Structure 1
Amino acid sequence: MLALALAALSLSAQARENKKLDAAGIASANALATEAGFETLARGGNAVDAAISVATSLSVVQPEASGMGGGFLALIRDAATGKTVFVDAREMAPKAVRESDYLKADGTPNRDTSLNGPLAAGIPGFPAGLAHISSKYGKLPLAESLRPAIKLAEEGFHPTAALASSIERKAEILRRYPASTRKFMPDGKAPQTTGIFRDPDQARTLRAMAERGADGFYKGEVAQEMVKAVKAAGGTWTLEDLAAYRAKERAPIELAYGGYTVITAPPPSSGGVAIAEMLNILAPIDLKRLGETERTHYLIEAMRRAFRDHNEYLGDPDFVDMPLDMLLSRHYADGLRQSILRDRATKSEWLPAAHAPEPGMHTTHFSIIDKDGNLVSMTATVNTTLGSGFVAGASGILLNNEMDDFALVSGKPNAFGLIGGSANAPVGGKRMLSSMTPSFVIGKDRLAVIGSPGGSTIITQVFEGILAFIGGKSASEITAQKRIHHQYLPDRVDYEPGSLSDEAMTKLRAMGHTLNERSPWGNMNVVTWDKADHRLSAASDPRNSAGLGKVEAAK
């Protein structure tokens, strides 16, 4: 069992949370998806119904980042009861998974089969997760929530520059598969932003799901078509794999920090545990009183220690016994804090050995608060850009390449540099570890719904966003703030241009930190609620021109 640092909010805080708003807020990575969510709210839906509309619309308009052939992790909070649930719709390995499929003849890892084509694809959890939250927490029939996505797929839309660029970059892989070519390059080349992009095959699959719920995807004609296509291209999926998939509810991680309750994602997300560890390390330190250099130093050292543990211990909780009581303990954090030298960087090689992933910049996140104060924070993915590049026949479903998130070959790195061990080894029916970290931050008078894509940087982005919100920043300030990142290995501090002053960089280097400037990363979407003055704010990351954070009067 997870050890929860807090049992519940006080009754007085709960009463404030139950206040109704005269508006709703949605922040997503695509304006069409945000508007789809508001359309569903206007028809009487709640935040969960709107989340289904946003998620499925993103499957249509932002397939490079997420979709029906992938998975998601989500936090849902019911304003009436104060109950928060974590929904795990992460992909899982097919029963026939075997290491030999991901090896070349000489025994070295085969990066092609782990990243491209049907062997790279785990069994999708996205449709099952949406059907689950619709039936348990939505107000509208699932078919109503799917309506905006079906319309977008059938009538078409102007593709974003990011989608057109993603198709162009992955054209060689897409051309291997007729259904992928037909979907993404119907004229033999990547679509133009001035043209209309339609997806009639995915529209039919969405209609099957509207009529039959999860069974419309995991059983019947759609399932048969997907399995037929996967097997014809060398994959190992079976109808039994699809029929066996279930979304799961798990207890979220809760902890207290700075007078707020932070609610975040448990395993198979690695992010929530890492964020809890970092916040616990920093809890006794008054960051506001520190200068830039010292504050940055402590953030880096907290990141370093949390990432070492995150890569050493975590995996699918249904398959792996994890020392969560230890990792989430304030006493454990006290010991880690004592190992931080105030004026000198801790070299990662001084800590017990573990291996960390290189960051990936794909996935999507959206945040929602409805007029009743219900909250949804959802992060969804197909792993790398356009996933496996394999569209499963006439289903129109682009499959993920999440199998690469397993430690497929012991001791060998995956696409992001992760060298995993037994905790994240592939087993039929097992869910691969994820960095997705949908989160809530709830205080007496303010709350935030927060998350981002970005591979391993998701964890540090959300961590820094939580600190910024608790420090008083607005939604737009949180999404726009400059970022730093350290993930234990490689032993370096990545930083965005402008995130550190010249003086701080000179001092940090003198302390032994290795600094590495990188182009801006992430695509954060945040909604905040100031309950004291009844103000709702939504913001999308300014690094993404297609995103839209919007507050709209409740209908």
Structure 2
Amino acid sequence: MDPKTWAADEVRRYLSDGIDASDTEGASGTGKRAMVLGSTGPFAQLAGRRALEAGGSAVDAVIATSLAQIALAAGSWVSYAGVFVLVHCQAGRTDSLSAGFATFAEEDDPASIPRAPEPSGRTALVPGFMAGVAAAHERFGVLPWPDLFQPAIHVAEQGFPVGLVRERQFAMRADVLPESFRAKRGELFRQPELAETLRGVAAEGADWMYRGPWAREFVDVVRAAGGKATLSDLDTYEPVWSEPLRVRFHGHEVHTGSKSLVQALRAAEGVGDPLTDPQALYELIGISRQSTRPGSHSDFVLAVDAEGNVAAACHSINTSLWGCTGLFAGGVSIPDAASFQQQVLAGLGPGQHVPFPANPAIVLRGGRPVLASSSIGAGLHCATLQCLHAVLGLGVPVDEVVRRPLFHGPDYLAGDTVNTPLEDRIKGKRVGSTWQQALARARESGVPQEQAWDAVMAAIPQVIEDRFDPEVVRRTEELGQRLSVRPITERTIPRGFWGGIGIGDRLTGGRTPFSGGRIEGI
């Protein structure tokens, strides 16, 4: 698992792949014995493949990939102080793991937590990511825990090449990022402080972050910025194992932790093909609007190992690039995910988990897994609904599904939730203010609370790619659904990114455009 022992040309190629631009086409691949697939960070998927080649489990591959994704992102859209959710299948039994953010016990006035872009330590929350991957490894891991950290440590210590995209992101956050983040295109970006933290966690386990040196630094950093973190908050944090929710859909049983996905699939039974049937497109958009709320997440990983075990995961910083605080502990970026969830936090008690509406899923047929699925982005629920509907309901193969046109999020969202919202904040715009203000107006006008969301959504167009048949689009609008048709390359699309692994005699993996990851089959 140490990249220093891998072919140097392969390491360089995977570290450089896609650093200047994202692809505009879906990607797919096949495997005979095992597979790992992820969003962003081709080198991270190489790490996952190496874990599988070393005899590791599906969970080992997910962990190695996730750890490397965060180092490659420099803690921008994913963080070791972020969150993690997993659905796992072994011998027909499925389990769900949620490691979301938790509240601080001393935070007794969530409504007064500052909103972005005002920086404050009060916008931090108890992280769940590292506790989550440790819990997953304890139950389903095969390879030694320290081995899974080697690729991420290599990235942090040896560096990765900065491309045009990353140079631009560093420049956008120059107001809050440390001086070491001023790297330019063509330079190697190294994270020595992060490498030391990762070595500590690799050697001592997750306790290093929840009860050891990192925990103390985290508390000191957050409290110095006005936050209310305590060592007890980290010491008492526990991820939650549970049985997944289940829903029957076209002869399949979908296992997930997402209530929204369950509701959407129940409503979508019997809906036709949205690429050719305006009524089907109208109905799917309506279903997506009824069962989802604003939110997005940042990286997904799917894996199937040689024993047939399946893992579907999502992890996130749950904010735009690095957040707005610029707080780091041991080289780990500290999210400001409380800066937009004041109302949710007000309904939670000390130490309770903040809802994490990601939707990884594993699909079974006759008790055997046939598909792993996960998604990210502002339109993650829209993308998941369409792709699962196409694979399970219409019989479209995974490698074809990822090349079909999609509708994405409603037009109240601000682009891809990583770059575009940040640009809006820099310009002084309040992200999400359009729908928040419309919701407030609906309630003020006397619309009952349970109907307010529908009243707001009725006036907001759905963003749809221009690859749909114009006649289907026209007739869908005639049915009463407003649409905003945009070129697939437009950055203001509130995009959803989906990945899936079809499981049968062969493994077939695919992911939708722009998510940037690789499909590694063996």
- The TM-score, its normalising length taken from structure 2, stands at 0.78
- Aligned partner of 2:305 in structure 1 is 370
From 33, 43, 55, give the equivalent of 2:54.
Answer: 43
| Aligned residue in 1 for 2:247 | 255
Instruction: Tell whether the 8 Å contact from 1:94 to 1:428 is kept in structure 2 after alignment.
Output: yes
Q: CA deviation at 1:110?
A: 3.7
Tell me the residue number matched to 2:82: 70
RMSD: 2.5
Aligned counterpart for 2:160 among listed residues 152, 157, 160: 157
Alpha carbons 2:36, 2:45 under 8 Å: kept: no
> Do structure 1's residue 85 and structure 2's residue 95 form an aligned pair?
yes
Is 1:124 matched with 2:91?
no
Give the superposition deviation at 1:461: 1.2
CA distance in 2 between counterparts of 1:112 and 1:495 reads 26
2:466 to 492, 495, 498: 498
CA contact (8 A) 2:193 2:331 kept: yes
Structure 2: 5+ residue stretches without partners: 1-30, 411-453
Residues 236-251 of structure 1 correspond to what in structure 2 (within 5 A)?
236-251=228-243
**Separation (CA, whole Å) in 1 of partners of 2:403 and 2:106:** 44
Match among 462, 478, 481 for residue 404 of structure 2: 481
What residue is the counterpart of 1:379 in the other structure?
314
Please give the alpha-carbon distance, in whole angstroms, between the structure 1 residues aligned to 2:110 and 2:261: 35
State the one-letter code of the partner of 2:82.
G
- Whichever structure has more strand as a proportion of its residues is 2
- The structure-2 alpha-carbon separation of the partners of 1:523 and 1:168, relative to structure 1 and needing over 3 Å to count, comes to farther
Structure 1, unmatched stretches of 5+, are 1-19, 104-108, 175-179, 266-271, 308-355, 410-419
Matches within 5 A, 1:122-201: 122-172=125-175, 174=176, 180-183=177-180, 185=181, 189=182, 191-201=183-193
The residue that corresponds to 1:232 in the other structure is: 224
* In structure 1, distance between residues paired with 2:98 and 2:496: 22
Q: Closer, same or farther in 2 for the Cα pair 1:160/1:34, shift >3 Å?
A: farther
- The question of 1:96 aligning with 2:111 is answered no
Aligned to 1:217: 209
The answer to whether the 8 Å contact 1:441/1:466 transfers is no
Select the residue among 246, 260, 272 that pairs with 1:274: 260
> Which residue, out of 88, 106, 116, partners 1:111?
116
Instruction: State the 1:118 CA deviation.
Output: 2.5
* Letter of the structure 1 residue corresponding to residue 35 of structure 2: A
Q: Following the alignment from structure 2 to structure 1, what is the Cα–Cα distance between the partners of residues 318 and 108? A: 20
Kindly indicate whether the alpha-carbon contact (under 8 Å) linking 1:364 and 1:523 is maintained by their aligned counterparts in 2.
Answer: no
Question: Structure 2 CA distance, aligned partners of 1:504 and 1:206?
Answer: 51
Q: How far off is 1:165 after superposition?
A: 2.6
Whether 1:28 aligns to 2:39 is: yes
**CA pair 401-379 structure 1, distance change in 2 beyond 3 A:** same
Amino acid at match of 2:405: K
Tell whether the 8 Å contact from 2:77 to 2:317 is kept in structure 1 after alignment.
yes
1:275 alignment partner AA: L
Q: 1:91 offset after TM fit, Å?
A: 0.9
Matched residue, 2:443: none
Q: In structure 2, do the counterparts of structure 1 residues 259 and 144 end up closer, same or farther at CA, with 3 Å as the change threshold? A: same
Deviation at 1:304, TM superposition (A): 3.1
Structure 1 residue 381, shift from structure 2 partner: 0.6
Deviation at 1:232, TM superposition (A): 1.5
1:428 offset after TM fit, Å?
A: 2.3
Post-superposition offset of 1:33: 0.5
The one-character-per-residue Cα deviations of 1:467-492 (angstroms, maximum 9, x if unpaired) are 12112223332333222246654333
Alignment match, 1:513 = 481
The answer to whether the 8 Å contact 2:409/2:463 transfers is no
Report the Cα offset of residue 99 of structure 1: 3.0
Give the aligned residue type for 2:117.
D
Shift of 1:290: 10
**2-side partners of 1:464 and 1:473: how far apart?**
11
Percent pairwise identity: 23
CA deviations on 1:290-330 (whole Å, 9 max, x unpaired) are: 951111122122223324xxxxxxxxxxxxxxxxxxxxxxx
Q: Deviations over 1:15-73 (max 9, x none)?
A: xxxxx953434333210100011122222211111111111101100232212010111
1:539 paired residue number: 510
CA distance in 2, matches of 1:22, 1:400: 38
Deviation of 1:392 after TM superposition, in Å, equals: 4.8
Q: Is the 8 A contact 1:297 1:508 kept in 2?
A: yes
1:460 matched residue in structure 2 = 382
Q: TM-score, normalised by structure 1?
A: 0.73
Question: 1:397 matched to which residue of 2?
Answer: 332
Q: Following TM superposition, by how much is the alpha carbon of 1:282 offset from its aligned partner in structure 2, in angstroms?
A: 2.8
- The Cα of 1:286 is off from its aligned counterpart by 5.2
Q: Residue type matched to 1:481 in 2?
A: R
Segment drifting more, 139-148 vs 494-503:
494-503
Task: Return closer, same or farther for 1:404/1:210 CA change in 2, 3 Å cut-off.
Answer: same
Structure 2 residue aligned with 1:523: 497
Cα pair 2:47 2:64 within 8 Å, conserved? yes
Kindly provide the CA deviation profile for residues 51-103 of structure 1, in whole angstroms up to 9, marking residues without a partner as x. 1111110110023221201011111111xx21111111111111122436736
> What residue in structure 2 maps to residue 425 of structure 1?
347
Tell me the residue number matched to 2:280: 295
Work out whether 1:207 is the aligned partner of 2:217.
Answer: no
What code does the residue aligned with 1:74 have? L
Aligned residue pairs: how many? Answer: 438
- Tell me if the contact between 2:373 and 2:499 (Cα under 8 Å) persists in the aligned partners: yes
Q: What is the identity, as a one-letter code, of the residue corresponding to 1:67?
A: S
What is the distance in 1 between the residues matched to 2:273 and 2:160? 46
Contact 1:201–1:394, Cα closer than 8 Å, also in 2: no
SS at match of 1:365: strand
Deviates more, 1:507-516 or 1:194-203: 507-516
Give the Cα–Cα distance (whole angstroms) in 1 for the partners of residues 219 and 139 of structure 2: 29
Q: Deviations over 1:439-484 (max 9, x none)?
A: 12233587221111113x2112111111121122233323332222
AA at the equivalent of 1:547? G
Instruction: Indicate the residue corresponding to 2:359 in structure 1.
Output: 437
Residue identity opposite 2:384 in structure 1? V
Whether the 8 Å contact between 2:89 and 2:369 is mirrored in structure 1 is: no
Q: Distance in 1 between matches of 2:259 and 2:467?
A: 25
Letter in 1 for 2:84: F
- SS of 1:228's equivalent in the other structure is helix
Q: What CA deviation, in whole Å up to 9, does each residue of 1:514-538 have, x standing for no partner?
A: 1123545233222222x2xx21122
For 1:170 and 1:27, the matched residues in 2 are separated by: 26
